[in-house]
Structure 1
Amino acid sequence: MHLRKVSRLLSATKQLVKGIRYSITVELSNTQCKKSTMLRTCDFYPEIQKLKTEVCLFEVWDIPWQGTSTLLKQKCQPKVEVQQEETNNIVDASTSQPLEDSVELLGQFKEFMVKYNKDYSSQEEADYRLFVFHENLKTAEKLQTLDQGSAEYGVTKFSDLTEEEFRSAYLNPLLSQWNLHRLMKPAPPARGPAPASWDWRDHGAVSSIKNQGMCGSCWAFSVTGNIEGQWFLKNGTLLSLSEQELVDCDGLDQACKGGLPSNAYEAIEKLGGLETETDYSYTGVKQSCDFTSVKVAAYINSSVELSKDEKDIAAWLAENGPVSVALNAFAMQFYRKGVSHPMKIFCNSWMIDHAVLLVGYGERKNIPFWAIKNSWGEDYGEQGYYYLYRGSKACGINQMCSSAVVN
């Protein structure tokens, strides 16, 4: 007839079993409130003889990544007076640090799944992704400890991918095969020295952040971004140009399996130009070429390769527009914000595997940086941008700088 509530907590333990299994033993005693009443506070009977007490065991299984909690067991029996020594302490079944870390890890993994809308096909897949997530947290922590800039590394939308999966889905292995690179004409040097800072976003030459998806087409995004800037500077109109046209119609490159900016410029010259994003929209998979010359919105006349000196690159960029560049993207998988300056052991200049767009440069709290437009969506880095240390040839950023020429 009467409501019961916990009068004493005897023990509480937790155990990792494909989730967290809690065992809670309590004493439940009856209150003076009838079950039909809706009172906020209910006191126990003051007279001991009327206080009926049971000892109850509850077992709850919580699976954070599924957002489910299940009551596995609820077992109660009358309290006998010869009872275990009373305690109000919460006892952890295993108070070792690894368990505490594991419970915290599960919480982080659940947050990651919710934030990035992750869904796994089976319990085995979820277990494996949790393992990868944990290993990636360790890598991010190592990057964080050894970073020489102001970057923050940690959980990103790529945190459940192995390094190999990340490379094959989002990066471009062809960039580091130097024997495939086509010789390009050298760019004429800038007429004057580089100003202290410059950002083409402030001058209307940069389109919004795009997303290449799980396709190694970064080379196409880097080149179209450069041509968008060149066309704007010559014609005063900022167009969003088609990457899919290059994925489908550039016979020199390998679509989602990678490509080279030098090839892409040549392909665009042969095709006669680029259509807009609206006319030839992005799908992220190679299809048959659907290019029509009557829809050409922008064309190029040639292409040039820039100096490998970062001061020269900055001067050229400020004078001539955003620059197509490539770099070693290892640290980018876990980058969240700030100026990234990985140690060379993580970011050597001969393992270049990602093409991006250099849109500006400057300093943050006396740390010189390059402002880099990426193609992994606005939920990457700082609203889609990556900031890399400037002046130490970090991650090979100076190795492959090029631009289209629009006369």
Structure 2
Amino acid sequence: MEDKVFGEINSDNLKSVHYTEEEALDVLKRMKVEQSLGPRSIPELSSIATVSTNLQLQCLPSVYCLQDDPKKITKATPSVTNSNTERTRATVSYDEESYRRMIWENNVRYIEEHNLQHSLGKHTSTVGMNRFGDLPNEEFNKLKNGLPQIEAVHSTETSASVSDESDESAASESDEINNELTTAIVDWRREGLVTPVKNQGQCHASWAFSTTGAIEGQWAKIHGNLVSLSEQNLVDCDRQSFGCFDGALWSAFDYVMKHNGINSAETYPYTEKEGWCRFQPDKFTAKITDVKRVSGGEAGLEQAVREIGPMSVLIDASLKSFQFYEEGVYYDDNCNGPVTDAVLVVGFGIEDGMNYWLVKNSWGTNWGEAGYIKMAKDRGNHCRIASHVFYPVVEGTN
């Protein structure tokens, strides 16, 4: 079908603002848009993608909205640019638009049904529309998940002094023995060991974000200086991993050990794509001497978080209930598959009588509870959260 051009896009005919500029660009990249003008070329770029909390939309998360007529919503595919007027033209593909609208509407129905069931006490957390609203769950997993195959193979490697104790059997035995609920609250954010939530964007680099988060915490604990470290340093330079095509926690920690440090995010900024290694040894920000693997299931994870600090872990983040998680203690009976995402456990607590792990993700602040998720704790190693647990050793730590 031949594309039709409806007209020029500018700040006058765009709809209400709900996304930040970074998130709007993230949406465009997902639609494989080549935006040659750069992030500052179109005025009020954050307006290009909107999600209304009352679900009365005329604009989908992945499109420009040119006119009031919903039939004339266009796919974001810039074809002609003019740097003087800072405008761009867009073409429409009705087939793609129809498909995305269908997916979005299905997800809206899922959200409404889930939250209705939550109000009836059938779920412990709510879900909400977010930037992944026009993605089917399978496509979402291709976009954000896929890490575990590498980690599962190498998680018992000894090249980085990682323990090879069994994780699954230890988790089962420990959970049976230590079945009493814990009421203590730990939140390492309050102690200054956790940097703000970051956004990995289109790069499958959760492994790098989890690694830097753990090192940031231990470095701050020992040296009293919390500095955001460079995920890009790992994406570009860790040759045992595969950059934006997934990587492994053990490999990332091993890289930092063998290269005597890692640069800061300021020195080596994140670009959301793999490039040439530009590590500057003379400007290292943090070093580690070893990496430890925690065994003992959830009891072992709890002890490690309480006594040591934030922990790098792998979880199953593949379900639709995780994709649209909004708030509350997350529990899904089906969350027991292969691990798909690397995250950072920064604490634990209790809410409405339910124990939870406080988990920092790397999907931006508009996902979950400002970028965090509270995951069910002491419920049979839910989402396999205690199966792969790592932390770095900084001189002076355990």
Q: TM-score, normalised by structure 2?
A: 0.69
1:335–1:213 Cα change, 3 Å: same
Letter in 1 for 2:163: K
Structure 1 position 163, deviation (Å): 2.0
Of the candidates 131, 134, 154, which is equivalent to residue 102 of structure 2? 131
Structure 1 position 372, deviation (Å): 0.6
For the 8 Å contact 2:150–2:248, the answer to whether it is kept is no
Question: Which position in structure 2 is the counterpart of 1:252?
Answer: 240
1:372 matched to 2:343: no
| Distance across 1 between alignment mates of 2:64 and 2:183 | 40
Question: Which position in structure 1 is the counterpart of 2:126?
Answer: 152
1:115–1:391 Cα change, 3 Å: farther
Aligned pairs for 1:6-85 within 5 A: none
Of the candidates 322, 345, 351, which is equivalent to residue 332 of structure 1? 322
Deviations 1:148-176 (A, max 9, x none): 65211131211111223211221134347
The range that moved more, 385-394 or 148-157, is 148-157
Gaps of 5+ in 2: 1-12, 16-51, 66-72, 77-91, 166-179
| Distance across 1 between alignment mates of 2:237 and 2:291 | 19
Structure 1 position 134, deviation (Å): 2.2
| Distance across 2 between alignment mates of 1:108 and 1:224 | 40
Q: Which segments of structure 1 move beyond 6 Å, counting only runs of 4 or more?
A: 114-119
1:381 matched to 2:329: no
Question: Which position in structure 2 is the counterpart of 1:49?
Answer: none
* Identity score, percent: 32
1:298 matched to 2:286: yes
Question: Which position in structure 2 is the counterpart of 1:313?
Answer: 301
Over the aligned positions, Cα root-mean-square deviation in angstroms equals 3.0
For the 8 Å contact 1:249–1:288, the answer to whether it is kept is yes
| Distance across 1 between alignment mates of 2:275 and 2:387 | 31
Gaps of 5+ in 1: 1-64, 68-103, 188-192
Of the candidates 400, 403, 406, which is equivalent to residue 388 of structure 2? 400
1:167 matched to 2:141: yes
Question: Which position in structure 2 is the counterpart of 1:180?
Answer: 154
Bigger Rg, structure 1 or 2: 1
The range that moved more, 151-160 or 165-174, is 165-174
| Distance across 2 between alignment mates of 1:239 and 1:170 | 26
Aligned pairs for 1:210-249 within 5 A: 210-249=198-237
For the 8 Å contact 2:238–2:252, the answer to whether it is kept is yes
Deviations 1:78-117 (A, max 9, x none): xxxxxxxxxxxxxxxxxxxxxxxxxx99954436549999
| Distance across 1 between alignment mates of 2:150 and 2:108 | 27
1:177–1:260 Cα change, 3 Å: closer
| Distance across 1 between alignment mates of 2:62 and 2:146 | 29
For the 8 Å contact 1:327–1:395, the answer to whether it is kept is yes
SS of the residue aligned with 1:167? helix
1:177–1:317 Cα change, 3 Å: closer
| Distance across 2 between alignment mates of 1:354 and 1:322 | 16
Of the candidates 386, 391, 402, which is equivalent to residue 378 of structure 2? 391
Question: Which position in structure 2 is the counterpart of 1:80?
Answer: none
1:282–1:141 Cα change, 3 Å: same
Question: Which position in structure 1 is the counterpart of 2:75?
Answer: 120
Structure 1 position 132, deviation (Å): 1.1
1:177–1:309 Cα change, 3 Å: closer
For the 8 Å contact 1:176–1:352, the answer to whether it is kept is no
For the 8 Å contact 2:125–2:328, the answer to whether it is kept is yes
For the 8 Å contact 1:186–1:307, the answer to whether it is kept is no
Letter in 2 for 1:110: Q
Question: Which position in structure 2 is the counterpart of 1:277?
Answer: 265
| Distance across 1 between alignment mates of 2:325 and 2:267 | 33
| Distance across 2 between alignment mates of 1:325 and 1:142 | 31
SS of the residue aligned with 2:235? helix
Deviations 1:234-287 (A, max 9, x none): 111001000000000000001111111011111111222110000000001000
For the 8 Å contact 1:154–1:336, the answer to whether it is kept is yes
Letter in 1 for 2:330: S
| Distance across 2 between alignment mates of 1:116 and 1:355 | 32
